[in-house]
Chains A and B, each alone.
Chain A
Amino acid sequence: MKNIGSHIVENRVLFLLVLFLILFGVFAFSVKGFFTYYNLTNMTQYGVELGLLALAEMLVILSGGAGIDLSVGSMLTIVAMIIGVLIGRAGFNPSLAILIGLISGSAMGYANGFLVAYPKIPPFIVTLASLYVYKSLAMIISVDPRFGPNPMPVSNFPETFYFIGQHRIGGLPFQVLFIFIPVVLILMFLMNRTVLGRHLYGVGSNETAAIFSGINVKKIRVIVYTLSGLLSALAGWVITSRIASARPDIGTGYELQAITIAVLGGVSIKGGEGTAGGVVLSIAIITMLYNGMQLAGIHQIWQLGSLGLVLVGSVLLNQILYNRRKF
């Protein structure tokens, strides 16, 4: 019995599957309205934005060097505001505005990556600073001088803009089918089937060895932070379309959730270890947890509170497993 238990804890994907099934069982039996086709398909849309950020976090943490991106929530916010202001106030064509949004997100991620890779500033400092810088910029661009000096949301979008966030096919949200799943598949391909992926794991698990085997460590780091910006930007676009509004405070607290999901999904905070599959399962678990808690009438702030506990708990678990394997 003890062997089965420790086997489950050590195989992360199996562990997450068991956790998923237990949670699913608990909610299906105890929470009214959980186990319906509508709820089960509907809740997947809430996992998309957070999921994209968690995948971004996965890439950054995987690359090692104490990699972490605290600015994902702020990049989401600023891209949402850029898209919102361009479409709603400046009357841009939505496709062009979205493209500009995605490019700016990547550029902000690139700036993070550059500061981490070249002057070698610790990632938590770079991204903590950029968390506040990007958030502040998002608020500044949200100000509409016609209505005074306060940050204002933008909500006057054309109908077509809502398509990606509100349309469904067979009950399944459009953004799950056409954004989230393709992104996961592309990342899986990149990480498992390409040289870049092998280098990413190499840099993450042993930087010195990676340098000696001729891997351009700096380039890899810049790439992952840039991708983190791009994925956050995608999330910013999807969330704006889903809630039909670009709000200057929308991404607050997302960084914690994204990091938690990545770490729970088996990404080692030391870098070099973790899979997209584990992270996707972890996204499913957290999305379900939120949905169940919400249906049970528990206040939203406890979603974040319980997540703090899950974060510290799952890193502790990783750490214990790591130590056990060493001996």
Chain B
Amino acid sequence: MTANLQIVMKRREFTVLGLILVLMVIFSLSTEKFMSVSNLSNLLLQLSGVAISAIGMTMVIITGGIDVSVGSILGMASVVAGKLLMAGSSFVIVVLSAIATGFGIGILNGIIISYGNVPPIIVTLGMMSMMRALMFQVLGGRWVSGIPPDIRIIGLGKWLGIPLSMWITAVLVILFSYFLSSRPTGRAIYAIGNNPEAARVSGVNLARTILIVYSLTGLLVGFAGLIYVARTGIVQTNTGSGFELEVIAAVMLGGTSVFGGKGTVIGSLLGAVLVGIIKNGMVLMNVPALSEGLVIGVLILISVMIDLIRSRGESL
């Protein structure tokens, strides 16, 4: 029993959970608003987009890659959803198109990375700027606002007092946890991250697996874009810029190692909650929004340091 407990306590997820609880206590003591129902449900709503995208990013980082284009994929999917909604398309078409947009961009990323053998940071950086230009072109520099109310149920609807988008997040987290831990492709993702050469020799199709990872990421982020539109009702040229940092921070804080081969979807969900609480608390405590990048950037560096110290301990 004590041995089991020690194993649980050593897990990264446990540390993050502890940190979340500590922060919740601090914020609820120092600001009255934090524990209010409206703030908490708003918090869940905001972090569901990050959490869903973080599922994809977890897989990407486990393979040893990175995807900095997720912010622009979110933006592009929002643009497609927003434009179609304004044109009066049906609910189903809008949902499918937004997801298909993300999926399509993800496939493109995946093909160039896996079959073109181009480093992920280069491909996704290039993709990011192309998508931003495309968004500008489609929007013509204007906003899309006044989005019809029926889509907003994804963003504002609730079941048992919890936002629908959080329920969807929960289902996706369970689904992908199963996929990563028990399906052959899921195991292959870890194998590639640990040792690509060994994975290849033991029969893993590297290119195909990498393609799947980036495509699924695009798909999930496309869905997050839909939630974004449903939540805010506004799309602009810079929608989603900086979103990639939040997602990467969530994944890394959740224990996924940038050195590849290690990480869980549950951890990333907790990471997303942590990032969400920090952002929310900073707003409530009147910390200027300008320092957000500073705080999240430093958190990323700290979490890599923890990784390094841990892995050093293991190898001894």
Contacts and interface: CB of A to CB of B under 8 A. Distances in A.
Contacts of B293: 132-133, 135-136
A121 B133 contact: no
B75 to A, nearest CB: 13
B60 to A, nearest CB: 12
Given A137-B294, A315-B118, A307 B300 contact: no
A304 B133 contact: yes
A269 B68 CA distance: 17
Interface string A286-299: 00000000000001
B285 to A, nearest CB: 14
B73 interface: no
29 contacts: A121-B301, A121-B304, A122-B258, A125-B300, A125-B304, A128-B68, A128-B248, A132-B293, A132-B296, A135-B293, A136-B294, A136-B295, A137-B294, A149-B288, A256-B129, A269-B122, A301-B133, A302-B137, A305-B129, A305-B132, A305-B133, A305-B134, A308-B126, A308-B128, A309-B126, A311-B122, A312-B123, A315-B118, A319-B118
Which 5 A/B pairs are nearest by Cβ-Cβ distance?
A305-B133, A136-B293, A132-B293, A308-B129, A136-B294
B127 A115 contact: no
A140 B288 contact: yes
A250 interface: no
B130 A128 contact: no
Contacts of A131: 297
Interface string A130-153: 111101110110010000010100
Contact of A132 (B116, B133, B134, B297): B297
Contact of B112 (A128, A143, A151, A312): A312
Contact of B129 (A122, A143, A253): A253
A60 B35 CA distance: 47
B282 to A, nearest CB: 12
B199 interface: no
A108 B130 CA distance: 29
Nearest to A270: B119
B300 A129 contact: yes
A187 interface: no
A52 interface: no
B14 interface: no
Interface of B: 66, 68, 112, 116-119, 121-123, 125-130, 132-134, 136-137, 242, 245, 248, 252, 258-259, 288, 290-298, 300-301, 304-305, 308
A319 B114 CA distance: 12
A203 interface: no
A167 interface: no
* Chain B interface, >50% SS class: helix
Interface in A249-288: 253, 256, 259-260, 263, 269
Nearest to B295: A136
A68 interface: yes
A309 B295 CA distance: 32
A124 interface: yes
A311 B258 contact: no
B232 to A, nearest CB: 22
Nearest to B125: A256
Interface string A96-126: 0000000000000000000100011110111
A316 B112 CA distance: 8
A172 interface: no
A130 B296 CA distance: 10
A135 B296 CA distance: 12
Contacts of B291: 136, 140
A23 interface: no
A308 B298 CA distance: 28
A139 B122 contact: no
A17 interface: no
Given A132-B294, A136-B297, A139-B290, A312 B118 contact: yes
Given A143-B288, A316-B112, 11 more contacts: A68-B121, A119-B308, A132-B242, A133-B293, A143-B290, A301-B132, A301-B133, A305-B132, A306-B133, A309-B130, A311-B122
